Amino acid sequence: MTHNGPGRSHDIAHLAHVELLTPHPEESLHFFTEVMGLTISGREGDSVYLRGWDDYEYHTLKLTAAKTNGMRHFAFRANNPEALERRVSALKAQGLGIGWNDGDQGHGPAYAFHTPDGHPGELYYETRWYQPDEQTRPALKNQASRFPGRGANLRRIDHLNLLASRIAPVREFFVDTLGALLSEQIVFDDGSEKGAWFSVNNKSYDLAVTEDHAGRRGRLHHLTYAVDSREDVLRAADICLEHGVHIETGPHKHAVQQTFFLYLYEPGGNRFEIANAGARLILAPDWETVVWTETERRKGQAWGLQTIQSFHTHGTPDTPEGTS
């Protein structure tokens, strides 16, 4: 199994997509297309497939009408077929595998699994590159599709943040079973882990896990898309203000990972983040995990903003446990 430093795996290429559930599908779709600037690739049943203008795959967001909010699944793309096989074997060995399915509109066969905290995930390699049409063909051929000039103009899926009842098993899972790098983490004075950030490529993280203060298992904290600059995040806040979108907190700069963030609730109640990390990359192959202490975290965010209370409690589904 793989740890930080020499030997880190490159089996997983990147976070690929998330399937988000919404009890208000029309309002959620309007939010993602008109306010956020995503583009529709296709529809099927209760689902709409969406992507940012720089996402190279057919979709990075699958928006599905449902009775509750929350996440139906997330997916990583493997770097090649052999890497996929290696990780499927590891999942099976851990008893976390569910099995193969035929894939979806946007990709080929996928292997389903769940994290130790119960979050449903998938791994696949065969994908469908997005093919622009007349409306979305870019002027420069090295770009996935046309810059939309609409709303917040979200560029690309960036990362996913899961809530977990316990961090350590999920942290071990991503590092040992999936071969991710643990780039940063929060460990309190009593040794309890409060959060962990994982990278599978040169981005400083593609996935994070933070503690669910409600003690529930397998919930979603938020999904994040990236824009080009901090000014783009500020402009997105202006646009959200005009559209009456609920802004939970931000824009501000995290101390952890230094992400410049804006947290929203989309109409379905799922937390959604618009972020920019400047040119931040982890290029060092022997990066040492940055461990934040309890004292350091008490200082709040980078410029002193205190973390809002709902940040530790609001997750989706936000229905009482056992319902839906």
- Report the site for a second copy in 200-259 (rule: CB under 8 A): 201-203, 226-231, 234, 237-242, 244, 247, 249-253, 255-258
For the record, the structure tokens of 122 come out as 């998938």
- Non-local (6+) Cβ contacts of 190 within 8 A are none
C-beta of 174 vs 263, nearer to a second copy: 263
Least distance CB 113 / a second copy (angstroms): 20
Query: In sequence order, which residues have a C-beta less than 8 Å from that of residue 307 and are 6 or more positions away?
Result: 249, 300, 301
| CB of 54 or CB of 193, closer to a second copy | 54
Would you call 40 helix, strand, or coil by DSSP? strand
How far is Cα 46 from Cα 35, in angstroms, rounded to an integer? 21
Q: Is 188 in the site for a second copy (CB under 8 A)?
A: no
Contact flag: residue 156 with a second copy (CB under 8 A): yes
Distance (Å, whole) CA 115 – CA 176: 12
State the nearest-atom distance from the C-beta of 272 to a second copy, in Å.
15
Q: What are phi and psi of 70, to 5 degrees?
A: 115, -170
* Binding of residue 322 to a second copy (CB under 8 A): no
- Of 123 and 226, nearer to a second copy (C-beta) is 226
Task: Rank residues 140 and 191 by Cβ distance to a second copy and give the closer one.
Answer: 140
Contact 281, 203 (CB under 8 A): yes
| Cβ closest to a second copy, residue 113 vs residue 197 | 197
Q: Does 151 bind a second copy (CB under 8 A)?
A: yes
**Per CB under 8 A, 99 contacts a second copy:** no
| CA atoms of 304 and 194, how far apart (whole Å) | 19
User: Applying CB under 8 A, which of residues 27, 131, 284, 294 lies at the interface with a second copy?
Assistant: 284
For a second copy, which residue of 141, 190, 320, 322 counts as binding (CB under 8 A)?
141
d(CA 39, CA 116): 34
Kindly identify the residues of this chain, within the stretch 291-320, that bind a second copy according to CB under 8 A: 292, 296, 302-304
108 binds a second copy (CB under 8 A): no
Does position 87 bind a second copy by CB under 8 A?
A: no
Contact 224, 158 (CB under 8 A): yes
Residue 80 binds a second copy (CB under 8 A):
yes
Q: How far apart are the first and last CA of the chain?
A: 38
Closer by beta carbon to a second copy, 309 or else 324: 309
Tokens matching residue 219: 């919930």
Should residue 2 be labelled a site residue for a second copy when binding is judged by CB under 8 A? Answer: no
Out of 1, 10, 310, 321, point to the residue binding a second copy (CB under 8 A).
Answer: 10
Residues in 11-70 at the binding interface with a second copy, rule: CB under 8 A: 13-14, 35, 37, 54, 56-57
β partners of residue 246: 265
Q: How many residues in total does the chain contain?
A: 324
Token pair listed for 168:
């350590």
